[in-house]
């Protein structure tokens, strides 16, 4: 569409429109259009796929998508699209495109910190930055990841030495694999959802060894890495009968009521997301003219970017007809 101004809006995913049209983390993947999927967490994967669809994504993300989709999706040519590691989970990617003479970087979820064998996202110079804001309020600042990982390891070792099992709650994709690396010396089990997720993302360079726990009796004290939704499965009762010490890892552990809401004994502020300081530092290093915040505390982050960095920033609001035109 020659001469069309750059427009960014929330429609079928985050739409970047101009002389080219891109859909990032769209809800519907159609046969026509350029669709980019940042990673395999369910809130970023499409809800519907039409026959003959193609996407730009990492091989890991595509494998995870096709595992849950009845209609299989193929890899589209990435012509004009640069991909960068987002540091969030296995296969997570940021995308940079050129539209109507402006470079646009879309992050999806990201983590700039190196942690547990994952290399963090690195800033990319761009004209327009579209950035997540999950922890976009100043109070969300995490301790160093290696410090928290050591605390988790020490806590698990102490509990096992007392002859008591451990259930460690973490999202099946991302933090569960981080915890498998942290706790590998204890030969951890994984519940069905974590085991299946790990099977999809492991590779020769990162084998992510774990044993499936499906409710069978285990004589020795053990640690099982579980989905937060374990209580919805048939194995929940079998685990409760072993009276495990219940732990959790999440950035939301910084919230005072998190332990009570999840029903755990201890929660550690360990996250595969950028914290507030990470987000501000990442924005500054990308040197954008404009920042679009979305997917979280978008209003707060946009305000803080303007106040702290003097960069124009606006939240992406659902139902907004057109957010940005150059």
pLDDT single digits (tens) 176-192: 999 999 999 999 999 99
Instruction: Please give the class, per CATH, of domain 145-268.
Output: alpha beta
pLDDT at 212: 92
pTM confidence score: 0.93
pLDDT at 317: 82
Q: How do strand 7-11 and strand 324-325 relate by DSSP bridges? A: antiparallel
Q: The sheet that has 223-226: what strands, in order across it? A: 211-212, 189-190, 223-226, 166-169, 245-249, 266-268
CA distances from 169 to 150, 176, 193, 200, 229 (A): 17, 8, 12, 19, 9
Mean pLDDT (10-residue bins), the chain, 326 residues: 79 93 95 92 92 92 93 93 97 97 97 92 98 98 96 98 95 95 95 94 87 81 89 73 92 95 95 98 98 96 98 86 52
pLDDT at 326: 43
Q: Kindly state the helix (H) or strand (E) to which residue 147 belongs, with its residue range.
A: helix 145-161
207: left (phi > 0), else alpha (psi -120 to 50), else beta?
alpha
Q: What's the fold here for domain 7-140+273-325?
A: Metallo-beta-lactamase; Chain A (3.60.15)
Q: How many residues are listed for the chain in this entry?
A: 326
Look at the block and give the residue holding tokens 């989709």. Answer: 69
Helix axes 59-68, 192-201, angle to 10 degrees: 140
By three-state DSSP, how is residue 277 classified? helix
pLDDT at 235: 72
Dist CA 84 CA 106 (whole Å): 10
Where do the CATH 3.40.50.10890 domains begin and end in the chain?
145-268
Beta bridge partners of 8: 16, 324
pLDDT at 296: 93
**CA distance between the termini of the chain:** 15
163 CB burial (10 A radius; 0-12, 13-18, 19+) = exposed
Where do the CATH 3.60.15.10 domains begin and end in the chain?
7-140+273-325
pLDDT at 1: 46
Dist CA 60 CA 142 (whole Å): 28
What would the two tokens of residue 74 be?
């193929």
pLDDT at 69: 87
């Amino acid at each position: 569409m020659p001469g069309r101004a750059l427009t960014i809006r929330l429609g079928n995913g985050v739409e970047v429109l101009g002389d080219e049209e891109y859909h990032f983390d769209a809800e519907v993947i159609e046969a026509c259009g350029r669709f980019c999927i940042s990673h395999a967490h369910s809130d970023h994967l499409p809800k519907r796929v039409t026959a003959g669809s193609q996407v730009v994504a990492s091989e890991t993300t595509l494998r995870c998508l096709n595992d849950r989709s009845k209609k299989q999706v193929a890899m589209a040519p990435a012509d004009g699209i640069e991909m960068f590691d987002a540091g969030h989970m296995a296969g997570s990617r940021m995308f940079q495109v050129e539209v109507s003479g402006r470079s646009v970087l879309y992050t999806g979820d990201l983590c700039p910190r190196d942690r547990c064998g994952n290399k963090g996202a690195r800033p990319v110079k761009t004209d327009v930055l579209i950035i997540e804001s999950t922890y976009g309020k100043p109070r969300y600042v995490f301790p160093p990841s290696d410090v928290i990982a050591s605390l988790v390891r020490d806590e698990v070792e102490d509990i096992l030495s007392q002859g008591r099992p451990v259930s460690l709650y973490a999202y099946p994709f991302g933090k569960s694999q981080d915890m498998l690396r942290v706790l590998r010396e204890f030969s951890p089990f994984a519940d069905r959802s974590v085991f299946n997720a790990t099977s999809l993302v492991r590779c020769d360079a990162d084998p992510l060894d774990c044993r499936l726990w499906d409710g069978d009796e285990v004589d020795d004290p053990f640690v099982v890495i579980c989905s937060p939704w374990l209580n919805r499965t048939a194995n929940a009762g079998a685990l409760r009968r072993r009276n495990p010490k219940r732990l959790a890892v999440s950035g939301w552990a910084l919230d005072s009521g998190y332990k009570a809401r999840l029903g755990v004994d201890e929660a550690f502020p360990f996250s595969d997301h950028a914290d507030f300081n990470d987000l501000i530092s990442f924005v500054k290093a990308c040197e954008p003219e404009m920042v679009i915040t979305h997917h979280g505390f978008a209003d707060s982050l946009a305000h803080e970017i303007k106040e702290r960095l003097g960069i124009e920033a606006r939240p992406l609001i659902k139902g907004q007809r057109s957010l940005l035109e150059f």
